[in-house]
Structure 1
Amino acid sequence: MLVVSRFRVSEAEAGEFRPGLQRAHEALAERPGYAAGWIGRNLDDPSLWTLVTTWENVGAYRRALSAYDVKLHAVPLLSRAIDEPSAYEVVEPGSDLNIQQTRSLG
């Protein structure tokens, strides 16, 4: 599973925002089920930042969000994300896409 969180940050806020985003990423990276992640800044519009993480499954991501350290360091920052869907299924060759079904925590 892939999570893409985008943020709009003014140039004046960027100096404070970057270390906070890094700490949020570190808190998430410490959780079970985390696979990989990175922080990015848009080349054409430097006010756009992103935090991209990959997880073993949706349950691992949801459990990570409830961890104390993540609530302390990541959730407040993630609440600043642009209001848009952020969780994606990774497309595998030959798989069906966008099947409407209940997502389990496992």
Structure 2
Amino acid sequence: MIVVTRFRVPFEEVQQFRDDLVTAHEALAACRGYLDGTVGRNVDEPDLWVLTTRWENVGAYRRALSSYDVKMRAVPVLYRAVDEPSAYEVVDPGTDLNVASARSLG
């Protein structure tokens, strides 16, 4: 699965935000199930930043968000994200896609 998290950052906060986002990425990258990721900045709108990560599955990502280190080092930055859906399934040929329906917890 892919997680695309976007941020709007005022110019005067860019350096601190960049450092904090790199720290957040490092915390996520240390988690089990993390595959790869990048930090980026939009070339046309330089106040728009992105953290893109790739995970073995949605469970690995959700467990990562629960880890103590991620809660301390990444969650404070992730709270600044643009409020929009961020988790995407990878669509490869022949892949069974997620079904948009209620799920049983039992």
Same fold (TM over 0.5): yes
Partner of 1:59: 59
Unaligned runs of 5+ in 2: none
Q: 1:30 & 1:64 partners in 2: Cα distance? A: 9
Partner of 1:3: 3
Unaligned runs of 5+ in 1: none
- Partner secondary structure for residue 53 of structure 2: strand
1:62-94 deviations in Å (ceiling 9; x for gaps): 000010110001001001000000000011113
8 Å contact from structure 1 (residues 3, 86) kept in 2: yes
Q: Say if 1:68 and 1:103 are closer, same or farther in 2 by CA, change over 3 A.
A: farther
Q: 1:60 & 1:85 partners in 2: Cα distance? A: 17
User: How many residue pairs get matched?
Assistant: 104
Kindly state the Cα deviation for residue 96 of structure 1 after the two structures are TM-superposed: 4.7
Q: 1:53 & 1:87 partners in 2: Cα distance? A: 10
Q: Which amino acid aligns with 1:67?
A: S
Q: 2:104 & 2:79 partners in 1: Cα distance? A: 22
Query: Identity of paired residues, percent?
Result: 62
- Partner secondary structure for residue 19 of structure 2: helix
Question: Alignment RMSD, CA only?
Answer: 1.7
Q: Which amino acid aligns with 1:77?
A: V
Q: 2:104 & 2:61 partners in 1: Cα distance? A: 12
Partner of 2:85: 85
Q: 1:71 & 1:45 partners in 2: Cα distance? A: 29
- TM-score by structure 2 length? 0.92
8 Å contact from structure 1 (residues 58, 103) kept in 2: no
Q: 1:84 & 1:7 partners in 2: Cα distance? A: 10
8 Å contact from structure 1 (residues 7, 50) kept in 2: yes
1:23-49 deviations in Å (ceiling 9; x for gaps): 000000000000000000000000000
